[in-house]
Every structure is written in C-alpha cells, then in structure tokens.
Structure 1
Amino acid sequence: MSEYYWNSKIEYLRNTRWLYYNDDYLEFLVKNVWKINAPVNIVDYGCGYGYLGLKLLPLLPDGSTYTGIDKGEDLIKEARQIFDKLPHSVELIQGDIEEIQVHRQYDIALCHAFLLHMKSPRDILQKMIDSVLDGGRVICFEPHWIANTANYGFDGIQQSEVVRLGILQKLYEASAKDSGKDGNIGMRLPILLSQLGLRNVGCRVSDKVNFLDQNMDATEKVRLFQSLKEEGIGQELEDPVKVVEQLVQRGLSVEEAQAQYAAELKLLQEFDSDSWFTYAPNMKISYGTVGRE
C-alpha cells in the first residue's frame, strides 16, 4: 500500500466534494461563462478519483475527452473502476505532477483544491499553461480558507465565540510563508494567471450554501451532518496541552493559542446533528485564456 497521504482520503473526498457546488451552477459555467459549445480535450492536474471529470463530462459536448493525472496509485485505481462503467473517453495517469511532463495537446487544463497543497503553485500553473493549446483555457477551483471560515452561520452561538478569524488568518498566513502551501490561494489566482500571461482572466465563487435544517428529511440531515463533520467543522480535538504547543510552534502567542483551542472546543461541544447551521465553502473558480505571441 502506498504511503501517499491522499490515498487514504478517498472516502473523505467522496463525502465532502458535494458540499461545494450545485450541478446547475456548474452547467451555467460550462454553457454561459466559458461557452464551451464544441468538443474539448481536458487534462485535470491532481485529479484524485476523477471528481471534476465526473461532474463536467456529462455537461460537455459529445466527443470531449478527459485525462486525469494524480500521484496517488489508489486514487487512480479508484478512478479507473468508476470510469470503466461510464461511456466517456478517459485516460488516467499515475504520476507526480511536479515531475511528469505533459505535452501541449489540451484545450483546457483544470485543477480542484490542488494548488493549495503545492509548495510552488506558480510553477504548477506554468506547467498547466504549457500543456494547453493556443486559445485554450486554464481553470482552477481553489479555496480561500478565511472566506470559508467566515461563512459559518449558527443559531444561538456568536460566531466570534467559535471562529476566531484574526487568529485563523494569522495561522494561514504563517503556514503559507513557512511552507509555500497557501490555503488562501483562491483569491491570489486571478493575479497569478494574469502575471503568467493569460488573457480574459476572470473569477467566480461557488454557489452552494449548505443548510443543516431541523425540518429537512432525516436521512439527508444525517448525511449532511456527517459530511460537515468530515469537512472539519466541530472536529475532535487532541490533548489541549499538545494542541496549544502545536499552535505556538505555528506562530501564535500562548494566549492566542489558548483562545483558539477554547473556540474549537466550544464548536465541538455545540455543533451536533440537532444544530441549525449554514455553511458556504466559498470556493474561488479562476480562469483565463492562453495566448502566445
């Protein structure tokens, strides 16, 4: 069994991706924003089990193809098992994006929640651009963590008691500075795409607001609550001394670390399947057109 981290996260990916987009919004992007009305060849960087391919291929013109690339052997195996049962033209490649060479043959290069894990996202973006034909597109679905955490809505709880935005922003920025991995990259991407020479750069925001409604269908309520927990909302905590030490190592003062632990503990204690709760992931969808002199 491979030790690649994301190989062990297939169920997490399967159980949380649906929180981000309504299908009709993805269809709107394809048909009304990107105006894809002829077959396209797509390459998906860090494809996982093929989530984007599964969502987009049914919306694209007949004759479109999908190539997915991922480092995870188990993820690619899972993707093959899924797509083998479907009528789409698909190629799945197991390989390290940072090392693999991709020929310039695609109309669209995609990624989804991938660049935030890269130490050099600008280099990956350049590789994506280099794999696209003139006039093609690069499209990136990436998070903006601080906007995500600002988009929790509670009944009976002050958000500031359980979501310490100032502390979280400090943590996110320190992590990006130390590792190069930026959970707020979604808001940087239009800038990066333009700086790398793309034209007609634009950005959209994911539309879905998840509502844990105590009047909703019981089965759907359980499913939503479990997915929200897997997303990390009200997650279980380790020993407080250990957590505080880790937060201090990441750049917080002792007081800030203790306040953050207290907020996370209160959220754990307050958030359950009987809560009224809204959550908007606020994913950023950035895109631009490749044009070479």
Structure 2
Amino acid sequence: MHHAPLRDAHFDVTIAHLVLMHVADPEQVLREMIRVTRPGGLLITCDANRNGHNALLHIEESDEQENVDLELIQSVNRSIREDSGVDYNIGMKTPVLMNRLGLKNVQARLSDLVVMILPPLDTPEKEQVFRAMCSEGLGYQPTDEAEIDRWREKLIEHGISREKADREIKRQLGRDFLHKGMNYH
C-alpha cells in the first residue's frame, strides 16, 4: 500500500476508506494516492476520529454521555499513536495533511447521520444496526477472568492506572450491550 505497483497519473479517482487510521505513515499513503491520481483527478479519504466517536455515543440506559471516560480513550489513542504511529484520530487531521502535500480545493465532510435503534428490534433495519454496533466492539463481552486480566494489563500498558482500568472494565461489563442492547435506546 505504501508503494502501489500502479502507473503514475493513472486513475481519475482514488479512494481510501478506513485505511489511514490503520497505517503508521498516512502521509506516505496519501503521497502514493496522489502519485497514481491524474492531474485534476479526485482523491477521497474517509477515516474516523475515535475520540469523537466515543464522545458522541449515547446509550440511554447506561448514560454513556456522563459515564464514558474520554480522558481514558484519549490516553489509549495517544499511547497507540506514540508506540506504533497508528493514529485513530487521523480523520480530523487528513485535510491538513492533504494541504501540506500540495492538494488544492481540499474539502472535508463531517457526517451528521444519527443512527438510532429503539426497542423493540422489530425491523430488519434495526436488527442490522444492532448487529453492526455489536461488531464494532460494543458487543464484545469477555467472560473469562484471564481475558479480563489481559484487557486490564493492555489498558495499563497504555498508561492507564489500575484503578481507572478496573473502573472502565466494570463500566463496560455492566453495560453488556451484546445481551442487553436489544432493549437499549
């Protein structure tokens, strides 16, 4: 991906969807996209801002807006970026990178889409949204104590205190979106 076996200026449009947030050198990926896009072509990226994603999640029954520890999420994301170069918040930074690399007419779009599921899950669309949310991580529910210990140690490796790690694990286990989420708003 960092050195695509493609001709220069070959494509009218190049797209990277949820790619930049998983690579250590997003600028190099953008350079490569620029290289293979013809002059006047269109370069499109779509990546998340994980801090924002967590800040905007609302589950009425667990009062996510009041209880999610955004500082913990920021600390984990910062630690991952410092250790690996992978930036889970690259989405908001991409327009600056594009401008720095010489792209013109850089534009950014923020999604104003609000995805709601309200009980009961009585339509295929609601069930699909619920399954998607579960697969995005809300449905992960470790039950094995050794797995919970690994989770705690991973948080501690990212600079989170044992007390904060235990509080976050307890919060997430109590939320139990996978099993209770069908009734959540």
Pick the TM interval, shorter chain.
0.7 to 0.9
User: Aligned partners of 1:139 and 1:223: how far apart in 2?
Assistant: 27
Aligned residue in 1 for 2:26: 121
Q: Do residues 275 (structure 1) and 180 (structure 2) align?
A: no
Pairing 1:242–2:150 present: yes
Contact 1:247 1:257 in 2 (8 A): yes
CA distance in 2 between counterparts of 1:133 and 1:220 reads 39
2:124 to 210, 219, 223: 219
Secondary structure of 1:214's aligned partner:
coil
Report whether the alignment pairs 1:194 with 2:103: no
Q: Distance in 2 between matches of 1:144 and 1:130?
A: 26
Cα drift, residue 190 of structure 1: 0.6
How far 1:163 sits from its partner (Å)? 2.1
Alignment of 1:53-132 (within 5 A): 97-103=1-7, 104-132=9-37
Code of the aligned partner of 2:81: A
**Residue matched to 2:138:** 233
* 4+ residue segments displaced more than 4 Å: none
Q: Give, in angstroms, the shift of residue 160 of structure 1.
A: 5.0
Residue 76 of structure 2 corresponds to which residue in structure 1?
A: 171
Q: How many Å separate the matches in 2 of 1:216 and 1:234?
A: 16
Query: Using a 3 Å threshold, how does the CA distance of structure 1 residues 271 and 182 change in structure 2: closer, same or farther?
Result: farther
Of 162, 171, 175, 1:263 maps to 171
* CA–CA separation in structure 1 for the residues paired with 2:65 and 2:11: 46
In structure 2, do the counterparts of structure 1 residues 274 and 119 end up closer, same or farther at CA, with 3 Å as the change threshold?
same
Secondary structure of the structure 2 residue equivalent to 1:108? strand
Aligned length: 180
Whole-Å separation in 2 of the counterparts to 1:216 and 1:226: 11
Aligned-CA RMSD value:
1.9
- Whether the 8 Å contact between 2:2 and 2:29 is mirrored in structure 1 is yes
C-alpha distance in structure 2 between counterparts of 1:100 and 1:129, whole Å:
11
C-alpha distance after superposition, 1:119-143 (max 9, x if no partner): 1111010000111111112110111
Identical counterparts, % of pairs: 27
The unaligned stretches of length 5 or more in structure 2 are none
Q: Contact 1:234–1:267 at 8 Å: present in 2 too?
A: no
- Structure 1: tracts of 5 or more residues without a match: 1-96, 277-293
Are the counterparts in 1 of residues 121 and 127 from structure 2 also a CA contact under 8 Å? no
Output the amino acid matched with 1:191: V
Amino acid at match of 2:181: D
CA distance in 1, matches of 2:96, 2:63: 34
* Alignment partners' CA distance in 1, 2:67 and 2:128: 23
Give the aligned partner of residue 251 of structure 1: 159
TM-score between both structures, scaled by the size of structure 2: 0.88
Cα offset for 1:260? 1.9
In the superposition, the TM-score normalised over structure 1's length comes to: 0.57
- Give the helix-richer structure, 1 or 2: 2
- The verdict on how the C-alpha distance between 1:265 and 1:215 changes in structure 2, with shifts beyond 3 A counting, is closer
Shift of 1:221: 2.7
Instruction: Measure the CA separation in 2 of the matches of 1:161 and 1:235.
Output: 21
Task: Name the counterpart of 1:25.
Answer: none
